Amino acid sequence: MYLEIPKKFNPIVHQARQVAQEVFRPISRKYDRAEHAYPKELDLFASIMDGMNDGAADGGAGAGKISRSGSAGNGNANTNGINIKTVLGMIEICRGDVGLALSIPRQGLGNAAIAAVANEEQLERLGNTWAAMAITEPGAGSDSGAIRTTATKDGDDYLINGEKIYITAGERADAIVVWATLDRSKGKAAIKSFVVEKGTPGMTVERLEKKLGIRASDTAAVRFENCRVPKENLLGSPEISAGKGFAGAMQTFDNTRPVVAAMSLGVALAALEKTREILGKNGLDLSYQTQAWTQPAVTRELQFLEAELEAARLLTMRAAWMADNGHPNSKEASMAKAKAGRVGNAITLRCVELCSSLGYSETELLEKWARDSKILDIFEGTQQIQLLIIARRLLGKSSAELK
């Protein structure tokens, strides 16, 4: 693994940094206060991103498909592709605003699910669809295997019935990728994902949630009542088997967890940079020239936080690099998500404390970044779930053996 940022991605990193600074930050507070208002400024930005993705040699937005063969198909060559590109771009974008990053049209979490599981025909047909992802239910939060939403075969269609909550971009997206079970008696193997297009009869947005953070992003509760979906919109194989059912759907998380980790890195980096700026203006020596035992306590604290952030960044880059090079990365994706989620939240909260009244007030964005960071330690699998997954991988235990 090469630790340097590939030169071919420097323009993307630079552009994302400019967007965060010049587009997202100026409107960040506006949409934090106007929760559920659609950020119209993102439409032009989304069009620009579409153009960039159309011209890219390694595909469109979102995380790419991971080869389960253990080989990227290029011998021993080192590949830096769509997963590394997405992570690098997301770090920079989230230095501006996480909620706005989650609201960019055609960049939804459901798009990562489509990329991970869809066949070639589905990728061609659904590739430009803005897709949200619906997993969580009132009785199935961290345990995705406890999903109760059903999909019943009816001729050439499936009838979906159930309720999903906490769907990011659930109202705004063009479609929702819904996880549902074909047969509850067959457990996790029967869980499949379906693309339900906006406006499909039987799909109703029940409410939009009021949240602690990421308020620029709409978070919806959606009910499905005999919602008819064509069989062509079932992602992957309709066969009920352990390898092609829940395990296949869970590959989505191997793609998206490094991306969520990147979001956490971005907001933490923003908080650290702003804290150094505020403390520097107040006369604090923030140089790296002196030994730790001769430094002010605040300087030592900042350097410790920077070290934690760098450790999380390297774990995230490793998980993305493994995906680009065809190596199964479930354990590494969970490591990245667990470390970055915890560190990002800890850093933003500590920066609020270090900056005292400026950190706690709305004069700066520090308090907002602290609020936004909490969800990044929760969605796509909580801290506790990530640690459980890591333990299973290290010990060679199944989910039934280690709960």
- Active-site residues, by number, are 380
Q: Do the bridges between strand 175-181 and strand 191-197 make them parallel or antiparallel, or are there none, so unpaired?
A: antiparallel
What are the phi and psi torsion angles at 222 (to 5°)?
-130, 135
Torsion of CA 292, 297, 302, 307, to 10 degrees: 40
Collect all residues with Cβ–Cβ distance below 8 Å to 344 and sequence separation of at least 6. 263, 264, 265, 267, 268, 312, 373, 376, 377
**For 261-311, where are the E strands, in sequence order?**
none
Distance of alpha carbon 162 from alpha carbon 177, whole angstroms: 14
Residues counted in the chain: 403
With beta carbons less than 8 A apart as the criterion, state whether 222 and 206 touch. Answer: yes
44's tokens: 């032009």
Distance of alpha carbon 392 from alpha carbon 403, whole angstroms: 9
For residue 172, CA distances in Å to 29, 159, 211, 352 come to 20, 23, 17, 32
What are the phi and psi torsion angles at 46 (to 5°)?
-65, -40
Beta bridge partner(s), residue 181 = 150, 191
18's tokens: 């400019």
Distance of alpha carbon 277 from alpha carbon 145, whole angstroms: 46
